[in-house]
Structure 1
Amino acid sequence: MDKLEYFYHRNLFNDEQEQLIFIWEEGITKVNILEVGFKCENITSKVIKKELILSDYPHQSTSLSVTFENGDSLLFENINDSNNEYSSEYTEEIKAIYKLL
């Protein structure tokens, strides 16, 4: 089994659909939490592009766009993925994911 390198919990602090993102040595697993059950998707394609946008202050908008060789993409956004209270913490999470990928 691959080693888990990072875990990101999207929409834990807002009313949007929750999503769990597991970053493994050999890929990424996205788990969407549904009303009844869950949907799981694996991405094992190589990262070909990543773009990090940082503001001057961690509580303001931060985003990371990741594009994979197979055409899949992921978007991490501190404010949309959490709420204003936790946006600074999510900024740090996004920066860590950028360094890892």
Structure 2
Amino acid sequence: MHVAWLREIGGRLKSDFQYSPGIVYNTFPWPDLDDKAKAKLDALGQAILDARAAFPDATLADLYDPDTMPPALRKAHRENDRAVDRLYRGGKRSALTASAWSISSCCMRG
């Protein structure tokens, strides 16, 4: 979701994204979350960290290589992506959500 926002709002220098906290992060449209939704996202985030911790000798590049990503880590990210998507779409998938979903699907193939 955030990458889609960066692509739409952030600038570029050549082909590299320029990430400005004032332009990209501070303007990101966070949904209003109740305590239940926050707890769910906390648990999903912890599941990602736990899946990564199972491979203490792996670098982030190793863990996030689309061809060799550990299945448990891929699953944890997919579950997190689905939960975030549900928070944003509110019944219909917005263009931003669809774009982020497409990016996520490409990066998390398999």
TM-score by length of 1: 0.33
Higher normalized contact order (CA 8 Å, seq sep 6+, divided by chain length):
2
Structure with the higher fraction of residues in helix conformation: 2
Compare CA radii of gyration and give the structure with the larger one.
2
